[in-house]
Structure 1
């Protein structure tokens, strides 16, 4: 009888264990948070100030406020995730958490040596430097310190984080000069995402960036880049997002594209890029964001823009394109933003523009467009901004314009319009600024 009871009890234990595993709670029972990591987290909480002024993110809240000694399992704390088998803290997300204070190399944060992901974005670290102690987090694959008031030179110790896949340092008054961008390209060879936008780099772009074949996204907005852009970066086999805008001394040319290039987001605005846009740009069938406003491009606008049916944002403004028409517009039915300011356009506004019913902003200003303002503009019911100034448009303002109830900005000045303006109808446009 005793043997049967023992067997029955073992059976119940195994059944209970199986239920815990199935429910996903076994790991928490077997491997709760380690005491040393719990103390490290609490010590970090005590070293920092919580203040709403630290973040302007409307979704921000203080994650660490809920951390307490009354809860022994830090794996259940807000912003903290642990490995299910070992109980080690592997992820810490304290983004937009109202954190204010300085972090140095003695911070208990660097005792969390099993971290794979660390996100401290959108806080205020009081213009402290990124601590050299970051090297102790050697297992990091994801590091986000963006918009958190870090300053000074980025430490060379960051190059020791050889497993990094994503590095985001954007929107901080930082310098990346020693080490520099070339050092990052040589040491952090597993990078898929590199985001030092607004960081002071003040250098040329190293050709070694073309060796980062895993790179999917690189954002280098307003970094003081100069010299010739390495064309091979456009050809990286996995690159989906490339932004170098607002680097006025950066020059380059857009190469030919084959159908295998996966680019989705290409932003060159405010640079010294020049030459012609190739017809093969129409091969970028996944492109949804294209901005070359304020560059030095010339030659004809490629008709192959008509093939880019996934476009959501298109800005070709303020370049030196040849005189041309809008005959290529009409198939980009997902467009919400279209800026063709000063692109040397002539002729009537084509009826096909009325197919783009998702448009919210349209600028066709400072061209030589002729004919009347089309009445079918009323089809563009999502419009919030319509800029048609400085053209050769004639005739009356069609009453259909007054049906665009979402309009906030309407500019028709410096045309050859005629007829009577019924100012009373503008009352219908209650959203006008």
Structure 2
């Protein structure tokens, strides 16, 4: 609509103005404040902008006001609302309204619908809402967060659920939405007063305690959503006496005990049952049926066999049986009976399945959109995805053979994950035809040959490419420069022979670049502009054959490594997965990555969003370490070991206040260790072995924790943690300096076990003292850790270690 103002300027006597779903792209004209005859204003999804005229709330005859789903429409409530207002419907859901929610909202006693979900009101919900006794629909979802359009920062701590007891007075409620409202405390029984309630949504809160028996009074309940809370104990048997229940979400809690469904179970109307991610043991006895069932979530429910009642679930669309102990083969009846024509999403990952009862060449469910078979024991040839499939994920299995070229005809694929199998052969060159591919993960197989073109043929949707740990050869395809959405590129541990791909610098979203352990070579020149690699956070070029000076001009431009937004709630570099219009209960697809630090292989199950890392080790870089590197204040890990760097350690490294690991070993560095490094309070690993350093080592803070093996191969260093103590004469510059390479004196760690431990800011395991690992910070990131022997000098360029 070109001119909303012109449209309404002469409508002085209009009663109803309904423009929902009309693309207005305009502000709401102030002239509507004077249209006293207006009874109904519906502007739902109108792409409205600017500030809503506050006077419209005071129109004397207004009964319906619907502004919902106008994300960029701002506004606020007047402090005093008209107590004689006839307003019956007020819907501001998913707008950018903000400010104080006045107590006078309780004076709008004619209201039967109030929706202020996903706005930015504060600081609390007034108890005067108890006066709205005619309410039929109430949605206060996400009230205690910072708004729909910005990052949520949990600025307000929420309220104890018991303080919302006024809700119990709204006895005419049919629909109650308190999703993601930061409610905490035990589940209250005042909700049992709402005997007309049909739909109850309390998901994504901090509700604790048990599900109370008093809910049995809600006999009209058709939807019960308690997902993603901290509920404990058994599911009360009385809950299953509610005959009208159709949708039950109890997933992602701490519920425990046995749940049994048998012939006498009263849930004949069940359409959706989601019990995943609890500590439940679920059993389905012979005779149980749920003929209307379309969605079943039983992940981690201790199932040992496929529920037989699924034979009769002909309308099934979504099935999650992941993380159970299902064994053997997937029975044939699963595709000949259960949702043969309707099944849309199937997740059988993390079980002990070995294959299909009758091996299909093509996945048998004709309408299947998403298939997850990860972490089983599936073997044989890859089954070909169906014609409408978008997600095909079979990682961590035992599939072998080559990728059939028929995959290339599945143009709807958005996620293809074949990682960690026994596949071989060449990656089909026709993969360039997968126009909508967003994630391609083929790591840890035995693929060889050239890498196919990416993002060609008008395809530029790729966000993540992981081809690491294969035997791929040739050069990086230059077409990757067209993948303008690419965030994650891992080509590590292959046989790629190429020069530094400076042409990737134009990618605006590239955060992770790993080229480690290949045959990249040559000098890394100067960037074409100061805008190269604008958001690069993790760069691993280790164990290649790069030469020349360190790429100081690139280091100077990597702004993402200079600071981080500590208030950003994004934890990992990942991607939401959508199946149809619904975000799955495990909504993010993670990007694992393997990095190396202090001679230890660090395998991140998820790549931390805030991690900042530079690894240029095991190349042929020479010359001095430039002081400019001290500007990268957000760095957590810096590894320049196994090069031929000379000169002194720049004191500017003391500016890297977030640094947790610094490895400068196996170079030709000289001079003293700068005392400025002692101010690195998070430094948990430090290695300067086998250089030409002299003089006293820094004292205090972290340096008091480093052992003598941190400094080996620097015979002129002294200090209290070394066998050689400092004297006045030893702090002076020696006349001569010696440096000997000792092939058998390098730092050596060998572990024969596998550990999973919490890490520091980067999920990093930062040290080993007396057999105990210790960290600099405590965060919720986890890292799988393996240790490998350092390789011989002859394999240094390939792996980056010494024995």
Is 1:121 matched with 2:179? yes
Change (3 A) 1:211 1:77: closer
CA distance in 2 between partners of 1:417 and 1:113 (Å): 67
Residue 403 of structure 2 corresponds to: 349
- CA RMSD, 1 decimal: 3.4
Change (3 A) 1:64 1:295: farther
Residue 406 of structure 1 corresponds to: 461
CA distance in 1 between partners of 2:109 and 2:424 (Å): 73
Change (3 A) 1:343 1:359: same
Change (3 A) 1:138 1:280: same
CA distance in 2 between partners of 1:389 and 1:103 (Å): 47
CA distance in 2 between partners of 1:111 and 1:122 (Å): 22
- Maintained 8 Å contact 2:94/2:116: no
- Maintained 8 Å contact 2:432/2:452: no
**CA deviation profile, 1:362-399 (whole Å, cap 9, x unmatched):** 11122233332111101112212111123232222233
Residue 297 of structure 1 corresponds to: 353
Change (3 A) 1:62 1:237: farther
CA distance in 2 between partners of 1:207 and 1:371 (Å): 48
Residue 723 of structure 2 corresponds to: none
Residue 205 of structure 1 corresponds to: 259
Is 1:149 matched with 2:195? no
Q: Once the 2 structures are TM-superposed, how far is the Cα of residue 218 of structure 1 from its aligned partner?
A: 0.8
Secondary structure at 1:237's aligned position in 2? coil
Change (3 A) 1:61 1:156: farther
- Maintained 8 Å contact 1:64/1:78: no
CA distance in 1 between partners of 2:319 and 2:275 (Å): 12
CA distance in 1 between partners of 2:455 and 2:105 (Å): 59
Q: Which runs of 5 or more residues in structure 1 are unaligned?
A: 1-22, 33-56, 81-86
CA distance in 2 between partners of 1:429 and 1:115 (Å): 50
CA distance in 1 between partners of 2:192 and 2:107 (Å): 32
The answer to which of 394-403 and 286-295 deviates more is 394-403
Is 1:252 matched with 2:305? yes
Secondary structure at 2:112's aligned position in 1? helix
CA distance in 2 between partners of 1:417 and 1:354 (Å): 19
CA distance in 2 between partners of 1:182 and 1:293 (Å): 30
User: Could you say which structure has the higher strand fraction?
Assistant: 2
CA distance in 2 between partners of 1:414 and 1:382 (Å): 25
Q: Which runs of 5 or more residues in structure 2 are unaligned?
A: 1-37, 41-59, 64-92, 118-132, 146-157, 489-803
Residue 240 of structure 1 corresponds to: 294
Secondary structure at 2:342's aligned position in 1? coil
CA distance in 2 between partners of 1:63 and 1:225 (Å): 43
Change (3 A) 1:201 1:61: farther
- Maintained 8 Å contact 2:115/2:138: no
Change (3 A) 1:339 1:211: same
Q: How does 1:331-370 map to 2 (within 5 A)?
A: 332-370=386-424
How many residue pairs get aligned? The number is 367
CA distance in 2 between partners of 1:298 and 1:422 (Å): 36
Q: How does 1:131-170 map to 2 (within 5 A)?
A: 131-170=188-227
**CA deviation profile, 1:253-312 (whole Å, cap 9, x unmatched):** 354854762110001111222232112222321011100111112343642863312212
From 142, 146, 165, the equivalent of 1:96 is 142
User: Could you say which structure has the higher helix fraction?
Assistant: 1
CA distance in 1 between partners of 2:381 and 2:95 (Å): 45
Secondary structure at 2:326's aligned position in 1? strand
CA distance in 2 between partners of 1:300 and 1:175 (Å): 37
- Maintained 8 Å contact 1:170/1:199: yes
- Maintained 8 Å contact 1:349/1:374: yes
Change (3 A) 1:172 1:230: same
Residue 439 of structure 2 corresponds to: 385
- Maintained 8 Å contact 1:210/1:233: no
Secondary structure at 1:147's aligned position in 2? coil
**CA deviation profile, 1:104-142 (whole Å, cap 9, x unmatched):** 3882211111212211111022x2222221121111121
CA distance in 1 between partners of 2:191 and 2:280 (Å): 27
CA distance in 2 between partners of 1:184 and 1:69 (Å): 33
Residue 471 of structure 2 corresponds to: 416
- Maintained 8 Å contact 1:254/1:277: no
The answer to which of 93-102 and 284-293 deviates more is 93-102
Residue 19 of structure 1 corresponds to: none
- Maintained 8 Å contact 2:456/2:479: yes
From 269, 273, 286, the equivalent of 2:342 is 286
- Maintained 8 Å contact 1:182/1:206: no
Q: Once the 2 structures are TM-superposed, how far is the Cα of residue 69 of structure 1 from its aligned partner?
A: 5.7
CA distance in 2 between partners of 1:360 and 1:163 (Å): 41
Q: Once the 2 structures are TM-superposed, how far is the Cα of residue 76 of structure 1 from its aligned partner?
A: 6.2
TM-score normalised by L of structure 2: 0.42
Q: Once the 2 structures are TM-superposed, how far is the Cα of residue 220 of structure 1 from its aligned partner?
A: 1.0
Change (3 A) 1:60 1:160: farther
Change (3 A) 1:109 1:349: same
CA distance in 1 between partners of 2:450 and 2:265 (Å): 55
From 112, 120, 125, the equivalent of 2:170 is 112
TM-score normalised by L of structure 1: 0.74
- Maintained 8 Å contact 1:213/1:236: yes
CA distance in 2 between partners of 1:358 and 1:399 (Å): 18
CA distance in 1 between partners of 2:99 and 2:311 (Å): 47
Residue 43 of structure 1 corresponds to: none
From 320, 324, 349, the equivalent of 1:267 is 320
Secondary structure at 2:304's aligned position in 1? strand
